[in-house]
A and B are shown apart, each in its own frame.
Chain A
Amino acid sequence: MSFLRRRKATERPHAEPHDIDTETDDVHDKKKTKPRPKLRPKRWSCVDTCYWLIGCIFSAWWFLLFLFSAMPASFPQYVTEAITGPLPDPPGVKLKKEGLTAMHPVVFVPGIVTGGLELWEGHQCAEGLFRKRLWGGTFGELYKRPLCWAEHMSLDNETGLDPSGIRVRPVSGLVAADYFAPGYFVWAVLIANLARIGYEEKTMYMAAYDWRLSFQNTEVRDQTLSRIKSNIELLVATNGGNKVVVIPHSMGVLYFLHFMKWVEAPAPMGGGGGSDWCAKHIKAVMNIGAPFLGVPKAVAGLFSIEAKDIAVARAFAPGVLDKDVFGLQTLRHMMRMTRTWDSTMSMIPKGGDTIWGSLDWSPEGYFNCSAKRLKNNDINTADKNGNGSLESTKRVNYGRIISFGKDIAEIHSHEIERVDFRGAAKGNNLTNATKCDVWTEYQEMGIEGVKSVADYKVYTAGSILDLLRYVAPKLMARGDAHFSYGIADNLDDPKYDHYKYWSNPLETKLPNAPDMEIYTMYGVGVPTERAYVYKLTPAAECYIPFQIDTSAEGGSEGSCLKGGVFSVDGDETVPVLSSGFMCAKGWRGKTRFNPSGIRTYIREYDHAPPANLLEGRGTQSGAHVDIMGNFALIEDIIRVAAGATGEDLGGDRVYSDIFKWSEKINLQL
């Protein structure tokens, strides 16, 4: 634009003498002469302008680029500090000033989906990917050859182990899960802060495992549990007998529960460590975001591969799985792949109706969603008026984890007409399975099967298992062989020696280690999925027949129902009930689940969104993964690693209603 102006300016003096000369001539002549000189420069100038513009843009671009690269690395931080005042010291630095040093070796147990997986042997289409990350990192391969990728990430549907000719193995070492994807930290912040007080490779250990397998299969295939045992023994031996502090996250919590039973159980099923192995080697287990009793999200994930975000997997890989990389059939490809992963079944809600509530009752019964909403109004788009608060205290039937239709979710139980689906014959193979290249077990259900599922209307935590067994028989056949979801009546029953009970805290005793400490650390203040409203999808041949009824909205502003999902307090993935109950009640004191009276501590972290964009994912976040960067949590961990006990930290730190809810649960202790 600036050039245009200049061009005109130069043109005028050029034309001026001409005008003066022909002043006396008639106007016609003047008009005639004027266009001619104008015409030539104009055509010339158009191209010229173009080039100029391009030139300007490019030089400006290069200049900015130059400035950017010349900018000192600390510049963004400098600006932030100028605006918001000095940032608080990272906890590692702060505690180093207090004189804390490394004492207890630290073991990290990553959760589902956050650990990297790499290819060791593959089919033709994966040529050249040897030891490249298939999971984690940039997911570059996912975009390039999605079907090949899905094929390699899937496990065998019958055995739950490797399909023939494919070996995908966990990445080992601290790099396995420090960053999930570039810029998306998981353990990195914690590791960096631990390093500040003197931790290093020999005192930190990432217990990476293949999170797709059922827990016992990681030992069968990779001897992962043996490795963890040997590594912990080594850590203790090379660090002067200091016991380890174990920090499991998410599903790693269940994995480590399994490990603690495994290691003391006699060989061959167990590790043969003897009954005092845990007492001798473990100082504390600091569970982060623990889904002790499962997560409702896993149900939605297994049932229809959708939850508010696609099950757990999507929660961890935002932006990756959202894209339609597989074309139109994304969901079904995902479903086919994730259904081969046995580990997802470890997160199905445990404890049935006793814990999660029946048709008309649930421990959270009168949870006030608006109160929570007010607290973190900037997360949801909801407005901030406080009017609806009273209205929304009306009871929500959280116990009905899946209901077909919004009205069903709300009316009283005796008004619901239910038709039992359990005996219902699955239809003949009505849908033409050959047309559907994507295989899910829904094709085998037939239309009658689908209908009978919908006719049962409401499913609680107890009946959900039957539902899943009905819609995905193969999956659950594997699942039932490896996991159990009940509550033990008599823990001394010899059947509980079987490994399938080991990851269920309600069917195992904690090890005999009175000096050990168990922490449960989780975020609160983020709406978390708890129950769903479903509908049938319009009949089409190759579709998943159920989906969340996103049109189901709670009436008032403060309602807990939003987009077909009832939410409660939690850390976005795990409800408070699941992460807190065991430490608040199930294991508190000397109970039958905790015969040696291991001390338990609850540490809650109230979610506060990042104050500004520069802060990234925040230092006070309570969200399921982001909490790994929460300064308060890191500080707690470092203190314990440096030798503090739970009392030194200040004991419990509770913001939610977990104690009240736990009271309501009627469980024999």
Chain B
Amino acid sequence: MCWLEHLSLHNETGLDPPGIRVRAVPGLVAADYFAPGYFVWAVLIENLAKIGYEGKNLHMAAYDWRLSFQNTEIRDQALSRLKSKIELMYVTNGYKKVVVVPHSMGVIYFLHFLKWVESPPPMGGGGGPGWCAKHIKAIMNIGPAFLGVPKAVSNIFSAESKEVAFIRAMAPSVLDSEILGLQTLEHLMRVSRTWDSTISLLPKGGETIWGNLDWSPEDGHGCDFVKKGQPSMSDNNLNSSNGRSCFQVKDPVKYGRMISFGKAASQLPSSQLPTHDSKEFLHTSASTNFNSSCGEVWTEYDEMSRESIRKISENKAYTARTLFDLLRSVAPKMMRRAENHFSHGISENLDDPKYAHYKYWSNPLETKLPDAPDMEIYCLYGVGIPTERAYVYKLAPSDKCKNIPFRIDSSADGDAGSGLKSGVYFVDGDESVPVLSAGFMCAKGWRGRTRFNPSGMATYIREYRHKRPASLLEGRGTESGAHVDIMGNVALIEDILRVAAGATGAEIGGDRIYSDIIRMSERINLRI
């Protein structure tokens, strides 16, 4: 419990609860070996050291990943520190620009930084336009969650997904064992809901990107890729041991319905779905608080009435847009905080002065990249692993103290060839981030000179196909494409080393694509 208490931030302010201070560990020790035996950065750092890198030209930009991005500056001045560190490295290493290697949520954090540093104070860092062009050679995003991850939805909604989101992915032994007794999930939910940063990972771009009730960019080939992409995965936890192609599935999977109640609702054509206005249960008063004294565990579900819970489930299907209404109703306090710090839309007019506000900075669809034509942006990610994309939910049996009223319906299994398994629809990705989220910006949104990328900086996509370790001796594999394990992928490390040593994207071979990201991107109708 002690551990939990210290990791949870204050629910109202998103800052420290009184009397408790937990801080990010600085320096290179912060992220490598942060859980024993679980390398994240260690392999990469070790290889960089082989070509002469050391403490003075490596910097680990540690930040408190529980806070919203702007709050890391307010509380810890983390952004100022990062700026000063980059400037220092630039000067002490003979005026050579830095290569930034963000991973996972760090990608969005660094997007935020890019905007922050060039914005005028007090909201920004006051580096002035040209700061990025002067100091940064390339950004090599690993497993970038540019457009969010569907996993974040299920995590916030019911604190469960195939694995409990990133947190669990990164601290496997800690959360898997039921250290908190029977109420693990509820406790976890309470903790993780105080973390503003999880909200930054909610899917961005709404239905334009993620698909509506009947359409999604991955239509038709999602599960096909799951299969073809990973022949060696056939004995993995996924559906198919048979080699049948997905084209035999008559109905395309409706990935656009991120949350559906019941398997049937996830497959029906949209005309047959009951359509409640999702806004209406926002206003359902929580007067009938039932039994809020029952558990000492506090989640906002206690404050919801049974009735509104039922109403939520009656709406049957939610897309990336209606999802936000849903979350607003189930976790009002959290979303209220979140909306001060993050935005998840698509901008109509990027020159609108409102986009100078920091809440837009971490959304690639609502910001312009800095004016730095020589900078390069890489999207490096794994493919060939089934990745959560949409969920089938059910109501949990109304037990008094089972606080979370919604459950993933793990009995919902699709046919052998469909992407549905245990209530979760899968697409191609790196186990956490779908290809769409990781690749779209580099494939289309920023490719060439677009309104999101006015200076036309070069973008490169480097995909790494997942291969399981050939033998047990190999540990976690040198060709893994999984979200965290990819940090030990030798091909990826080689790319980073080459760029760090001075190569450009064209020199390492330009794009390297295995997935269908280009075709998917083309189907997305976004003005660029």
Query: Is the CB of B527 closer than 8 A to any CB of chain A?
Result: no
Docked pose: A175 CA to B27 CA in angstroms: 10
Is there an interface contact between A120 and B77, defined as CB atoms closer than 8 Å?
no
Query: Is the CB of A223 closer than 8 A to any CB of chain B?
Result: yes
Docked pose: A237 CA to B87 CA in angstroms: 15
Query: Is the CB of B276 closer than 8 A to any CB of chain A?
Result: no
Contact with A along B48-83 (1 / 0, CB 8 A): 011010111000000000000000000011001100
Query: Is the CB of B84 closer than 8 A to any CB of chain A?
Result: yes
CB contacts (< 8 Å) of B88 on chain A: these are 226-227, 230
Complex partner residue of A202 from B25, B49, B56, B76, CB under 8 angstroms: B76
Q: Name the distance in Å between B149's Cβ and chain A's nearest Cβ.
A: 29
Most buried by B among A120, A200, A223: A120
Q: Name the distance in Å between A419's Cβ and chain B's nearest Cβ.
A: 50
Is there an interface contact between A201 and B54, defined as CB atoms closer than 8 Å?
no
Is there an interface contact between B49 and A201, defined as CB atoms closer than 8 Å?
no
Query: Is the CB of A607 closer than 8 A to any CB of chain B?
Result: no
Complex partner residue of B81 from A130, A222, A238, CB under 8 angstroms: A238
Which residues on A are within 8 Å of B, measured CB to CB? Answer: 120-121, 130-131, 167, 169-175, 195, 200-202, 222-223, 226-227, 230-231, 233-234, 237-238
Q: Name the distance in Å between B60's Cβ and chain A's nearest Cβ.
A: 9
Is there an interface contact between B49 and A226, defined as CB atoms closer than 8 Å?
no
Docked pose: A131 CA to B54 CA in angstroms: 10
Q: Would A201 and B55 be within 8 Å (CB), given that A223-B92, A226-B92 are in contact?
A: no
Q: Name the distance in Å between B91's Cβ and chain A's nearest Cβ.
A: 7
Which residues from 12 to 52 on chain B have a C-beta closer than 8 Å to any C-beta of chain A?
A: 21, 23-29, 32, 42, 45-46, 49-50, 52
> Total A-B residue pairs with C-beta atoms closer than 8 Å?
69
Docked pose: A223 CA to B425 CA in angstroms: 52
Docked pose: A226 CA to B42 CA in angstroms: 27
Is there an interface contact between A222 and B80, defined as CB atoms closer than 8 Å?
no
Q: B75 — nearest CB in chain A belongs to which residue?
A: A202
Q: Can you identify 22 A-B contacts, CB atoms within 8 angstroms?
A: A121-B49, A130-B46, A131-B28, A131-B42, A131-B46, A169-B55, A172-B55, A173-B25, A173-B27, A175-B25, A195-B21, A200-B23, A201-B26, A201-B76, A202-B23, A202-B81, A223-B92, A227-B88, A230-B84, A234-B80, A234-B84, A237-B84
Complex partner residue of B80 from A173, A201, A238, CB under 8 angstroms: A238
CB contacts (< 8 Å) of A121 on chain B: these are 49-50, 52, 54
Q: Name the distance in Å between A269's Cβ and chain B's nearest Cβ.
A: 16
Docked pose: A173 CA to B28 CA in angstroms: 9
Complex partner residue of A223 from B56, B80, B87, CB under 8 angstroms: B56
CB contacts (< 8 Å) of B81 on chain A: these are 202, 234, 238
Docked pose: A107 CA to B71 CA in angstroms: 25
CB contacts (< 8 Å) of A238 on chain B: these are 77, 80-81
Is there an interface contact between A222 and B56, defined as CB atoms closer than 8 Å?
yes
CB contacts (< 8 Å) of A167 on chain B: these are 49, 54
Is there an interface contact between B24 and A201, defined as CB atoms closer than 8 Å?
yes
Is there an interface contact between B27 and A169, defined as CB atoms closer than 8 Å?
no
Q: A121 — nearest CB in chain B belongs to which residue?
A: B49
CB contacts (< 8 Å) of A223 on chain B: these are 56, 92
Docked pose: A230 CA to B91 CA in angstroms: 11
New contact pairs (7) apart from A172-B55, A201-B23, CB-CB < 8 Å = A167-B49, A170-B55, A195-B21, A227-B92, A231-B84, A234-B84, A237-B84
Most buried by B among A131, A200, A222, A237: A131
Most buried by A among B29, B45, B91: B29
CB contacts (< 8 Å) of A202 on chain B: these are 23, 76-77, 81
CB contacts (< 8 Å) of B49 on chain A: these are 120-121, 130-131, 167
Is there an interface contact between B80 and A120, defined as CB atoms closer than 8 Å?
no
Docked pose: A131 CA to B42 CA in angstroms: 9
Q: Name the distance in Å between B83's Cβ and chain A's nearest Cβ.
A: 9
Docked pose: A131 CA to B55 CA in angstroms: 10
Which residues on B are within 8 Å of A, measured CB to CB? Answer: 21, 23-29, 32, 42, 45-46, 49-50, 52, 54-56, 76-77, 80-81, 84, 87-88, 91-92
Docked pose: A175 CA to B33 CA in angstroms: 15
Q: Would A227 and B76 be within 8 Å (CB), given that A121-B50, A131-B45, A234-B81 are in contact?
A: no
Is there an interface contact between A169 and B54, defined as CB atoms closer than 8 Å?
yes
CB contacts (< 8 Å) of A173 on chain B: these are 25-27, 29
Q: Name the distance in Å between B28's Cβ and chain A's nearest Cβ.
A: 7
Docked pose: A48 CA to B37 CA in angstroms: 45
CB contacts (< 8 Å) of A201 on chain B: these are 23-24, 26, 76
Q: Name the distance in Å between A132's Cβ and chain B's nearest Cβ.
A: 11
Docked pose: A171 CA to B88 CA in angstroms: 18
CB contacts (< 8 Å) of B29 on chain A: these are 171, 173, 175
CB contacts (< 8 Å) of A227 on chain B: these are 56, 88, 92
CB contacts (< 8 Å) of A170 on chain B: these are 55
CB contacts (< 8 Å) of B54 on chain A: these are 120-121, 167, 169
CB contacts (< 8 Å) of A233 on chain B: these are 84
Q: Name the distance in Å between A84's Cβ and chain B's nearest Cβ.
A: 29
Docked pose: A121 CA to B25 CA in angstroms: 24
CB contacts (< 8 Å) of A174 on chain B: these are 26
Q: A221 — nearest CB in chain B belongs to which residue?
A: B56
CB contacts (< 8 Å) of B84 on chain A: these are 230-231, 233-234, 237
Q: A230 — nearest CB in chain B belongs to which residue?
A: B88
CB contacts (< 8 Å) of B92 on chain A: these are 223, 226-227
Docked pose: A226 CA to B91 CA in angstroms: 9
CB contacts (< 8 Å) of B27 on chain A: these are 171-173, 175
Docked pose: A170 CA to B81 CA in angstroms: 20
Docked pose: A201 CA to B81 CA in angstroms: 11
Complex partner residue of A222 from B32, B46, B52, B55, CB under 8 angstroms: B55
CB contacts (< 8 Å) of A226 on chain B: these are 88, 91-92
Q: Name the distance in Å between B275's Cβ and chain A's nearest Cβ.
A: 51
CB contacts (< 8 Å) of A195 on chain B: these are 21
Docked pose: A430 CA to B52 CA in angstroms: 43
Docked pose: A237 CA to B81 CA in angstroms: 10
Docked pose: A233 CA to B91 CA in angstroms: 15
Q: Name the distance in Å between B125's Cβ and chain A's nearest Cβ.
A: 11
Most buried by A among B23, B50, B56, B91: B56
Docked pose: A227 CA to B21 CA in angstroms: 27
What are the nearest 10 A-B pairs in CB distance? A173-B27, A223-B92, A238-B77, A230-B88, A172-B27, A234-B84, A201-B23, A120-B54, A173-B26, A169-B55
Docked pose: A430 CA to B100 CA in angstroms: 59
Q: B42 — nearest CB in chain A belongs to which residue?
A: A131
Docked pose: A2 CA to B87 CA in angstroms: 76
Q: Name the distance in Å between B134's Cβ and chain A's nearest Cβ.
A: 17
Docked pose: A120 CA to B91 CA in angstroms: 22
Q: Name the distance in Å between A178's Cβ and chain B's nearest Cβ.
A: 12
Q: A237 — nearest CB in chain B belongs to which residue?
A: B80
Q: B46 — nearest CB in chain A belongs to which residue?
A: A130
Docked pose: A171 CA to B81 CA in angstroms: 19
Q: Name the distance in Å between A138's Cβ and chain B's nearest Cβ.
A: 16
Q: Name the distance in Å between B30's Cβ and chain A's nearest Cβ.
A: 8
CB contacts (< 8 Å) of A237 on chain B: these are 80, 84
CB contacts (< 8 Å) of B87 on chain A: these are 230
Q: Name the distance in Å between A440's Cβ and chain B's nearest Cβ.
A: 30
Q: Name the distance in Å between B263's Cβ and chain A's nearest Cβ.
A: 49
Q: Name the distance in Å between A453's Cβ and chain B's nearest Cβ.
A: 41
CB contacts (< 8 Å) of B77 on chain A: these are 202, 238
Is there an interface contact between A120 and B26, defined as CB atoms closer than 8 Å?
no
Q: A172 — nearest CB in chain B belongs to which residue?
A: B27
CB contacts (< 8 Å) of A131 on chain B: these are 28, 32, 42, 45-46, 49
Docked pose: A173 CA to B59 CA in angstroms: 12
CB contacts (< 8 Å) of B26 on chain A: these are 172-174, 201
CB contacts (< 8 Å) of A171 on chain B: these are 27, 29
Docked pose: A650 CA to B17 CA in angstroms: 37
Is there an interface contact between B76 and A172, defined as CB atoms closer than 8 Å?
no
Docked pose: A506 CA to B42 CA in angstroms: 46
Q: B21 — nearest CB in chain A belongs to which residue?
A: A200
Q: Name the distance in Å between A479's Cβ and chain B's nearest Cβ.
A: 25
Docked pose: A200 CA to B25 CA in angstroms: 11
Q: Name the distance in Å between A198's Cβ and chain B's nearest Cβ.
A: 8
